[in-house]
Amino acid sequence: PEQSDQNMDSAVSDPLRSALVQQGVLLGQHATQLNTTAQDVEALNARISELVTRVESLQRETTSRGSVLRTGTSQDPEPHANNPPVYDGDPNACQAFLSQCSLVFSLQPRRYANEEAKVAYVLTLLSGRAREWGIAVWRSQAPCCATFADFSQEMAKLFDRSARGDEAAAQLSRLSQRRNSVTDYAIQFQTLAAACGWNESALRARFLEGLDFAIADELAAIELPRELDNLIDLALRVEGRLSRRRKHRQTPAPWRHLEASSSPPVRRRVLVGTFQSSSSPAARTLLPFQLSLQGGSHAGLALVDSGAEGNFLDAASARSWNIPFIPLASPVSAWSLAGSPLTTITHVTPSVSLHIAGNHCEQTELYIIDSPKAPLILGHPWLHKHNPHIDWVSNSVLSWSQSCHVSCLGAAFPPVSVSCVSQVNSSDLTGVPAEYYDLRAVFSKARATSLPPHRPYDCAIDLLPGSSPPKGRLYSLSGPEREAMDKYISESLQNRYPLPLMSSAFELLQGARVFTKLDLRNAYHLVRIREGDEWKTAFNTPSGHYEYLVLPFGLTNAPAVFQGLVNSVLGDMINQFVFVYLDDILIFSPSLQLHTQHVRRVLQRLLENQLFVKAEKCEFHAESVTFLGHIISTRWIKPDPAKIEAVAQWPVPDSRKALQRFLGFANFYRRYIRNFGQIAAPLTALTSTKVSFRWNQEAQVAFDILKSRFVSAPVLLVPDPEAQFIVEVDASDVGVGAVLSQRSLRDGKVHPCAFFSRRLSPAERNYDIGNRELLAVRLALGEWRHWLEGSAQPFLVWTDHKNLEYIRSAKRLSSRQARWALFFGRFNFTLSYRPGSKNVKPDALSRLFGAPEGELAAEAILPEGVVVGALSWGIEQRVEEAGRGVQVPGECPAGRLPVPAALRSEVLQWGHASRLVCHPGIRRTLFAIRQRFWWPTMAKDVRQFVLACPTCAQCKPVNRPPDGLLNPLPIPSRPWSHIALDFVSGLPPSKGNTVILTVVDRFSKAVHFIPLPKLPSARETAQLVVDHVFRFHGLPVDVVSDRGPQFVFRFWREFCRQIGASASLSSGFHPQTNGQCERANQDLGRMLRCLTSNNPSSWCQQLSWLSVYSPCVLSSGSCARSSLSHLLSREFSLKKSSRSHRYPGLGCCANSHSG
């Protein structure tokens, strides 16, 4: 048994022993980790201690330095400084810009160590006029660029216009706070004070004088500081206090509440407010009223109290006026805000007729209370119901709500006279309907002459930055002085506010039956000059210096400013029932009752904004009125006979300006004149500055026809959008025309509403007849889109081209027709065919514009751009006309014209001096003339003419044979395979060009003359020959040039190698190597001298003609061909072609250049 126990203990202890061993190992590992962590913590503590020590040493170092600024070493970075804003020459910002630049230089002295760097830095911040000046003085190395101080001083002299000295003192004397804040006023004040040099006492006194009255009154009650800065700070605090006081202002009068008393049953609660007994009558808002009941009427003044919850009538007044009392079913008690009872309301009046301000009438009931100070009190319910616009200063109602215009103002009558009501200034109301007498103030002459208030639409006179008004005494203006004055006027920035189109007024009048026309009194004088701009209107007289406070007549912006003001005042009425053009106002309505309300609204709005009406020039409630030169009626519009009479008596214009005045006046009425453009075409041609003004018979006939047409001008129907429109269109070869018509319900006939015509552009004249007719429909619908799009009934389009009937159902359309078809989809119309015999009106309009001279009906196959010469000459026509009826001599070759003796000098002048030949020699002149003309002594006459030509003798150089024999260059085998280049420099400026690059084809002798502003570089020369030569003629094999810097540069040689051409340079001092280019330049100089001897600066305009200068016949033999014949593979001839063409402009151009 003992042995078994030992064995059992041994079996149990083995696992325990192993577990203990494992735990011992783990404890050893943990101990090792703890020791490592402890060592790391100790290391971290050491580092922290080191950092703390370092920080404390740095703090002690900083503290020891104190506030002393350390001197930076060469390694210390300079503080960052933002660049000042770019300066564009603004005279008011010059001083600030220079000061900011000085601050940058102070902050970064090492970066801008020398004066040249400072000046260069300032130049990089300039723009506009300032940059132009700065770059100019920098390039010229002016002395002022040596130092920044000199540069800034010179710049300030030129650009700085800030006030200094006496000028700053004068501005400071006029400065006041007005509507600005104290902050803005103080900034302006201190800016001027720094420049004027006043002492502290004077500045304090002037600052107080310019303050707003309310702030000055507050400051007057306290002791003021002696320093200006403290005074400004005090004014700012007073302004803030006043602003807070206005926001939290309490009502001065105690309010009283009306509540139902405890004894009778309470039914409702109302409020009523009254003034303190100490309140003066002037502090109350009193309106004149008239109370009517059972045939009796009583007048007085009503108190407006927004705190009252009802309308109240004084009991004593009600008894004296015999107004019955009706007891309330439930009495109402009145309580004050303090909670004490005041009175009990037990009675109410029957429904009475109440008239306020004379023109506002209503039926209402009034509570009866004891109110000895106000017989009638109008409370919040009355104000909420009628929403009157009250002028609290003048105690008057300026306007009423929209509902009042329908219910309360319709039965209004003129106000009764009340002795206690202030009377309006007397004005002549003759012609003014009685229902507007209550608005008599709007017709006042006295108020119209008073100074108007400042408004958002005050006239601003803005000058261009940098401009300043001229200074001088009273002198008579000479020519240059007038030019200077015109320049100053042109520096005003114009107001671009648009004026309305008169045609837009006609479109608004449909359905109008009653019209009223108003004319504003002293129109421009009702607008103030913007505050601060008055000095710009100043003028001197022997009696003193004056400035306008109101808008004077003649200012460039006056019409736009006044139109903007009136549009702002009447904005919600314009295009509804009002049309305004400056000081003329047209009011139109479909009925008299509605028209009365419209006129009243306009008059009240004008009175609210202190715009006054001239009663003697107004027309009220008329069926037709004369407005802006037109007589407008219910159904039609026609021109004013008085204006037409002025046209009929117009004298014959004796200058271009006089003719322009006539056409400008006539254009105003062109809508009434059919074929106006065709009739006025001879007159319009004379207005061009390209032709001399010569009054001829054609112009006189047109002038007389226009005057007669004005006298018999037709009447146009006012379009009715509810009726069906008819659009008649037609197209001719040169124009399109259309007529918009409607059938009148009165006579059943079709009457015109508007005419339209337009000339076709050159591209549109190429359309076939179908597309031209379709274009006429497109243009007509676009012109009258506002009437036709969305019309009540489908409209008709009549055309005399039958195929157009299928345009809307066609399956295949061109791209142009497809675009037009999309546009037509916006309209609801029927396109129908109408024979040309019945389509007379639009047909005449389409032929309004005459075809250009020389145009024939046949169409040319070649486009205009490939026609290289004129097909006929003016000299040919004159020779043909002179030879009609004369037998042609037998010796005259076929195809030539015999020239009579009277025209031979003209033919010689044409063949020798025209731009196409440009003063050639005897042989070339004879060759040019022989192509088309003949006479027996032609060769002799040509020789004598050329030898006697003064231009050739003056401009051509003397040629002599070369010394020795020349070795010619190889002859090319095709055009433009071998070319030669050279420059012509030193020419007078022409369109900015002073150099010509000459490029000659050595095979065909063709030449390109390329104008340049200056000698180009090698890269630019390569780009020029690519753009002007290679893209048209291909790449060459050989390029000959002299030894100019462009051609000896490595870039040029590499360029030629890349394109596969050899660069052949001439020998030094041997220009004969490039002989063809030298000869081309010689001929170019000769021709330019001949053509531009009177105006050398126009040579650039002649180069296009001189490019075809190549000789028509060469001295080397008869087999030689000209350059154009080589290029075009045919002989270039001046003979007349039998082909007709469609480009008369070419013939006109050639004729103009042939003389």
pLDDT one-digit tens code per residue, 242-270: 777 666 544 444 434 343 333 333 334 45
Residue 820 token pair: 């037009």
User: Taking 50 as the threshold, does the pLDDT of residue 394 lie above it?
Assistant: yes
Q: What is the mean pLDDT of the chain?
A: 73
Using alpha carbons only, what angle is made at residue 670 by residues 666 and 671, rounded to the nearest 5 degrees?
150
Stretch 16-45: mean pLDDT, rounded? 82
Give the pLDDT of residue 995: 92
Q: Among 834, 720, 723, which residue's Cα sits nearest to residue 777?
A: 834
Least confident piece of the model among 331-345, 367-381, 817-831? 331-345
- Asked whether residue 274 carries a pLDDT value surpassing 60, the answer given is no
Could you tell me which residue, 466 or 838, shows the higher pLDDT?
466
User: What is the Cα–Cα distance from 891 to 893, expressed in whole angstroms?
Assistant: 6
Nearest to 388 by CA among 379, 380, 378, 398: 398
Point out the least confidently predicted range of 660-669, 743-752, 809-818, 1105-1114.
1105-1114
Please tell me the predicted confidence (pLDDT) of residue 195: 76
pLDDT band at 1012 (very low <50, low <70, confident <90, very high): very high
Q: What percent of the chain has pLDDT over 90?
A: 2
Residue 835 has what pLDDT?
Answer: 58
Residue 442: name the closest of 361, 362, 526 by CA: 526
* Residue 526: pLDDT over 90: no
Lowest-confidence region among 225-234, 475-484, 773-782, 789-798: 475-484
Check residue 421 and give its pLDDT.
36
Q: Indicate the helix (H) or strand (E) that contains 1040.
A: strand 1038-1041
Question: What is the tens place of the pLDDT at every residue in 284-334?
Answer: 678 888 888 876 778 888 888 877 778 888 888 888 888 888 888 888 876
Residue 868, pLDDT score: 45
Q: How confident is the model at residue 207 (pLDDT cuts 50, 70, 90)?
A: confident
Distances (CA, A) of 952 to 745, 1099, 1100: 79, 17, 21
Is-contact 914 931, C-beta < 8 A?
Answer: no
Q: What is the CA radius of gyration of the chain?
A: 48
Output the pLDDT for position 981: 92
Q: Could you tell me the pLDDT band of residue 177, with boundaries at 50, 70 and 90?
A: confident
Q: What is the pLDDT of residue 996?
A: 92
- Report, as an integer, the average pLDDT of 684-691: 78
Per-residue confidence band for 1010, with pLDDT thresholds at 50, 70 and 90: very high
pLDDT at 413 over 50: no
Give the DSSP H or E segment for 296.
strand 296-304
pLDDT tops 60 at residue 1137? no
Give the range among 20-24, 272-276, 469-473, 620-624 with minimum mean pLDDT. Answer: 272-276
- What is the average pLDDT across 714-724? 71
pLDDT greater at residue 548 or residue 1137: 548
Task: Identify the CA nearest to 236 among candidates 218, 262, 254.
Answer: 218
Given a cut of 80, is residue 927 above it in pLDDT? yes
223 and 272 Cβ atoms separated by less than 8 Å? no
pLDDT digits (tens, 9 = 90+) for 123-145: 888 888 888 888 888 888 888 88
- Which range has the worst mean pLDDT, 350-364, 463-477, 948-962? 463-477
Q: Strand, coil or helix: what is 788?
A: helix
Angle at 988 between CA 985 and CA 992, to 5 degrees: 90
Confidence of residue 66 (pLDDT cuts 50, 70, 90): very low
Res. 1011 pLDDT band, cuts 50 70 90: very high
pLDDT score, position 1038: 92
Task: Check residue 999 and give its pLDDT.
Answer: 92
